[in-house]
Amino acid sequence: MQIGRLLHGGDYNPEQWLDRPDILEQDVALMKQAHVNVVTLGVFSWSVLEPQEGDYHLDWLADIVHRLYANGIYTILATPSAARPAWLAQKYPEVRRVRADRTRELYRRRQNYCYSSPIYREKVRAVDERLARRFGGDPAVILWHISNEMGGDCHCPLCQAEFRRWLQARYGSLEALNKAWNARFWSHDYTDWEQIESPAPQGEDAVQGLALDWKRFVSDRHIDFFKFERDVVRGIVPEAKFTANLMYRFHDIDYHDLARELDVVSWDNYPTWHKPAETVEQTALDTAMMHDLFYSLKGRPFLLMESSPSFTNWQPVSKQKKPGVAMLSALQAVAHGSDSVCYFQWRASRGAEEKFHGAVVGHDGRADARPFRETAQVGAALERLAPAAGTGRPRQAAIVHDWPNMWALEGSSGPRNAGLGYWHELACHYNALARAGVTVDFVGQDSSLDGYGLVVAPMLYLLREDFAARLCGFVRAGGTAVVTCWTGVVDESDLCRLGDTPYGLTGLLGLRRAEIDGLYDEERRRCTPAAGAPLALPATQASVLCEVAALAEEDPALPLLTYAEDYFAGCPAAAVHPYGAGRAYYLASRFTPDLYDALYAAAAGQAGLTPACPQPLPRGVLAARRDGLLFVQNCTAAPAEALGETLPAYGTAVWREGAEGRERLL
């Protein structure tokens, strides 16, 4: 899917307006005015595509696809499986999900089909095949969008049977399963596969190996459903390309696994801009972290599939984007590797759940309304940024973010059940690196570490033996690693490692974990620079978890910070250990942001990572790089100086860099 320019458009729901040809006509004219070159069609169209079982109506869709194409607008065509028609749920109750408490849902909402139901798959296959036959070779259709925001789980008898089959394939015998789950605890040894049930509030909720495998299974089921739909279309249109729209900080699916099946990663981005607890820069960093995660999944440009041109209707308070923030947010996506800026939605619906959600065209239909004007400005800017399309990003730093680790970490009762703040932990590292202008990827434990200078392992509680060995090899060969508290604790079944921990990393770090103490939300422990430390770090405060480490007797780490209070005063709170041709940093707790800024300024320099912007930038101004392009964004409400130019409030400058120097593109 290479069309040589950035895509601009969004979810379009003409099925809601089929009785208003005047509006459909106006849409095409307005889209051209807004520099729209793509729309996503069909996401929730099933009840119009197949109003009665086996009675298909695709002409209306073909008319719209072709009218748009005649006006220079491509289609991303969605399969309608995310929301089924009422007749289907009524006639075939098995397609309705069963909740963890074993209640079968009534017909309701969307994204709640049973992914194991053979009948559901048969009905999806039938409608997908018709779409594929009708639109397969159509030059208007540039990409297939499978379903919508897959997620959630189903506990119906069909899924229970699939789960048992999945476990049999994973473990082979009940003996192996019992061992992996340490089922002897509380005498829970299983003697028959039929005894195994998915976790339930009124059932098993304390076998953490079971809970972890259920999450893996559910993730695999979603991916299996994606592959099923993809292969139905691919069977008819071999050259078709596929995406699925992914989500912010999403738990239910291992996106590293899913990404392997996608041609293009896409995601839906709805930051809560302007909340009082956060600056625009902080919200921008939180969003950038997600863009970088989605870029990393395939190491290739992704698509921003949905975003709001103005506000949502589901956040606690629906705040308007202040003037300039729609542009800032759109260009931020491109700066971080998106080849599109798309919206949910083109035109606001009149009724039901999302009638008050922001849209490019509101209920008044006016082209002089702010969301429309700002969207048109974004469209014009994207045309000027066409050289960005398809360009990659440098490989510099990687943060390990691995779904099984997140599931196991959050599912275990341990040193702090009041929350470990896993995503906050990732953000501590990400924000400091991003502010330093370092390009950050997110890798899993299967990913290659080749080409990175710096690898961060934050709270890598479930640390695979092979990854521990690769991390050691990476540092031995000259890389820099940062490893934090609560790393290397359990194996892939959530069984505690026996012997010294962080398992597999004690030689790398030059220390071992002796104890770990949980802190209440309001508790802090002072940490001060260690005497004779080889790197000056600022005094800081520890929070959340305080690991108490014992330095190795031979070849110990060099303390950088020590705890200054509590019974562990004097123990290392941060340390560095030269290892082979590289070095490993150890952080025993979670600290204040300035600690990470100082650590990464030093570590990035030692790792030879050059910042995106050659000159220091004022606070609130962020830089990012794609091949040959430098993006600098002012995330503040006041003008700011960057590279000798003044950026207006929320302004973005883009330079193209070549042998002859730097040329301003935007």
Catalytic site positions:
149, 306
Cβ proximity to ligand GAL, 12 vs 344, nearer residue: 344
Instruction: Measure the N-to-C terminal CA separation of the chain; round to a whole number of Å.
Output: 25
* Nearest distance, CB of residue 652 and ligand GAL, angstroms: 24
Cβ proximity to ligand GAL, 128 vs 149, nearer residue: 149
* Nearest distance, CB of residue 376 and ligand GAL, angstroms: 21
* Nearest distance, CB of residue 211 and ligand GAL, angstroms: 26
Cβ proximity to ligand GAL, 92 vs 255, nearer residue: 255
Interface pick for ligand GAL out of 37, 148, 439, 636 (rule CB under 6 A): 148
Distance between CA atoms of residues 521 and 544, nearest Å:
7
Peptide bond into 345 cis (omega under 30): yes
Closest-approach residue to ligand GAL (CB): 344
Cβ proximity to ligand GAL, 15 vs 149, nearer residue: 149
Distance between CA atoms of residues 396 and 433, nearest Å:
10
Q: Can you give the C-alpha Rg of the chain in angstroms?
A: 26
Site string for ligand GAL, 402-441 (x = CB under 6 A): ----------------------------------------
Cα separations (Å) of 581 from 494, 499, 533, 584? 33, 27, 20, 11
Question: What tokens were used for 656?
Answer: 């193209």
Interface pick for ligand GAL out of 27, 128, 149, 547 (rule CB under 6 A): 149
Closest C-alpha to 291, from 531, 626, 644: 626
Q: What is the biggest distance separating any 2 CA atoms in the chain, rounded to whole angstroms?
A: 80
Cβ proximity to ligand GAL, 320 vs 610, nearer residue: 320
* Nearest distance, CB of residue 345 and ligand GAL, angstroms: 7
- For residue 560, what is the enclosing H or E element? strand 558-563
Interface pick for ligand GAL out of 50, 268, 425, 494 (rule CB under 6 A): 268
> Any contact of residue 344 with ligand GAL (CB under 6 A)?
yes
- For residue 289, what is the enclosing H or E element? helix 280-298
* Nearest distance, CB of residue 202 and ligand GAL, angstroms: 31
* Nearest distance, CB of residue 266 and ligand GAL, angstroms: 11
DSSP conformation letters of 169-208: HHHSSHHHHHHHTTTTGGG---SSGGG-----TTS----H
Is 173 in contact with 180 (CB distance < 8 Å)? Answer: no
Cβ proximity to ligand GAL, 310 vs 501, nearer residue: 310
Interface pick for ligand GAL out of 214, 225, 270, 579 (rule CB under 6 A): 270
Site string for ligand GAL, 347-376 (x = CB under 6 A): -------x--x-------------------
The structure tokens 């009905």 sit at 123
- For residue 475, what is the enclosing H or E element? helix 465-476
Give the list of residues 6+ apart from residue 348 with CB closer than 8 angstroms, or none: 354, 355, 356, 357, 358, 359, 361, 362, 363
* Nearest distance, CB of residue 43 and ligand GAL, angstroms: 6
* Nearest distance, CB of residue 111 and ligand GAL, angstroms: 8
Give the list of residues 6+ apart from residue 318 with CB closer than 8 angstroms, or none: 311, 312, 356
Interface pick for ligand GAL out of 279, 312, 320, 541 (rule CB under 6 A): 312
> Any contact of residue 15 with ligand GAL (CB under 6 A)?
no
Distance between CA atoms of residues 307 and 305, nearest Å:
7
Site size for ligand GAL, by CB under 6 A?
A: 9
φ, ψ for residue 424, nearest 5 deg = -65, -40
Cβ proximity to ligand GAL, 166 vs 270, nearer residue: 270
Cβ proximity to ligand GAL, 254 vs 306, nearer residue: 306
Distance between CA atoms of residues 242 and 77, nearest Å:
10
Cβ proximity to ligand GAL, 96 vs 357, nearer residue: 357
Query: Given CA atoms 219, 225, 231, 233 in this order, what sign does their dihedral have?
Result: negative
* Nearest distance, CB of residue 108 and ligand GAL, angstroms: 15
Cβ proximity to ligand GAL, 245 vs 439, nearer residue: 245
Cβ proximity to ligand GAL, 244 vs 457, nearer residue: 244
Give the list of residues 6+ apart from residue 270 with CB closer than 8 angstroms, or none: 248, 306, 307, 308, 312, 315
> Any contact of residue 625 with ligand GAL (CB under 6 A)?
no
* Nearest distance, CB of residue 312 and ligand GAL, angstroms: 5
The structure tokens 């012997």 sit at 499
Q: What is the b/e burial string over 196-223, where b = at least 16 CB atoms within 10 angstroms of the residue's CB?
A: bebbeeeeeeebbbbbbbbbbbbbbbbb
Closest C-alpha to 361, from 322, 320, 309, 325: 309
Closest C-alpha to 642, from 650, 633, 433: 633
Closest C-alpha to 10, from 32, 33, 41: 41
Interface pick for ligand GAL out of 153, 213, 306, 374 (rule CB under 6 A): 306
Residues in region 495-524 near ligand GAL by CB under 6 A: none
* Nearest distance, CB of residue 353 and ligand GAL, angstroms: 8
DSSP conformation letters of 437-449: T--EEEE-TTS--
Is 629 in contact with 387 (CB distance < 8 Å)? Answer: yes
Q: Which residues bind ligand GAL (CB under 6 A)?
A: 148-149, 268, 270, 306, 312, 344, 354, 357
